[in-house]
Amino acid sequence: MNAERKAAWILIATTMLAGMGWIFSKESIQGLPPFGFVGLRFLVASICLLPLCLKPLTQLTVKQASQAVGGGVILALALLTWVHAISISETLGEGAFIVSLSMIIVPIVAWALFKERPKRAFWIAMPIAVAGLAFLSLKGGWNSAPGQIWFLANACLLALHFNVNSKLAQRLPVLLLTCIQLFVTGVIALFASAMLESFPDAIESSIWGWFAASALLATSLRYVMQTLGQKGCNPGNAALIMLLEPIWTVILSIAWYGEQLSTNKMIGCGLILLALVFYRTDGRLFRIRR
């Protein structure tokens, strides 16, 4: 097996882990308060990455640290909206497809912040994605469930973080930047939990098992695998492979929770996936070869 094919399989496994992470998180918040869960999860994940970042951490300037912390604040807001959406939503698969819209929203944010005009494929992909979102909300009329709105807010915050993080990654070591942002997310989420939630007096051991899987497998291991996969894989191929995450989430949520997808929701998910594939390939997969 050549190096690029091996990297592709690593990325496929990464997307499966990401899909499983939705299940791990949903199960964890059955016994843990949502914000408290995010805080503990990302604090543990940052501690796991810390040994890999000790040397660059000692060379960090105050300005670089403040920039990394700022990115962490955005990530924290994104993760808090995400876990809140999961806690009030009955359909994880639908949520995963809405969150995947963040890659379509990224060019809009880049245009607003950095004056970077979107490429031509964006103007075709965007209305397709909006149509998909509409189908997810149609049920004899426009009925956006609260979970859908929070998932969409999460997609917008993730798009903002993606843009900011792309600039920061050019100035800081990737692992160190990630470690700091995970730590900031953990601290902010725990603070929000202390202000708004209360931990139960007793937590079942099975809940801690789900939490461990979420923190170690779906966060720390997933990030390391994604880094390895992206390092050895063509960027275009890597981007397409990462689109598997919402598909895995749908499959797992149907298998684990018996989630039902109506015809409208299936069409909506399909349109969103079509928009993402079109955008990430610049429409190349849809051109007719002569």
Please determine, for residue 105, whether its predicted confidence score (pLDDT) is greater than 80.
yes
Decide: helix, strand or coil at residue 251: helix
- Closest by CA to 135, choosing from 78, 85, 94, is 94
- Closest by CA to 136, choosing from 280, 239, 271, is 271
CA distances for 172 relative to 50, 59, 65, 138, angstroms = 15, 10, 9, 44
The pLDDT of residue 237:
67
The pLDDT of residue 290:
41
Higher-pLDDT residue of 95 and 287 is: 95
Over residues 125-144, the pLDDT tens digits come to 888 888 887 777 666 444 55
Residues 45-64 have a mean pLDDT of 86
The alpha carbons of the chain give a radius of gyration, in whole angstroms, of 19
Token representation of residue 204 = 């079942």
The pLDDT of residue 144:
58
Of the listed ranges 51-60, 210-219, 259-268, the least confidently predicted one is 259-268
The pLDDT of residue 234:
66
> 0.85 exceeded by the pTM?
no
Query: What is the amino acid identity at position 111?
Result: W
Contacts of 120 (CB under 8 A, 6+ apart): 282
Indicate the pLDDT class of residue 111, thresholds 50, 70 and 90: confident
Mean pLDDT of the chain: 83
Please determine, for residue 253, whether its predicted confidence score (pLDDT) is greater than 50.
yes
Please determine, for residue 210, whether its predicted confidence score (pLDDT) is greater than 90.
yes
Please determine, for residue 119, whether its predicted confidence score (pLDDT) is greater than 50.
yes
Residues 248-260 have a mean pLDDT of 83
The pLDDT of residue 218:
86
Over residues 143-175, the pLDDT tens digits come to 556 778 888 899 899 888 888 887 887 788 878
Percentage of the chain beyond pLDDT 70 is: 90
The pLDDT of residue 207:
92
CB 125 within 8 A of CB 107: no
Decide: helix, strand or coil at residue 138: strand
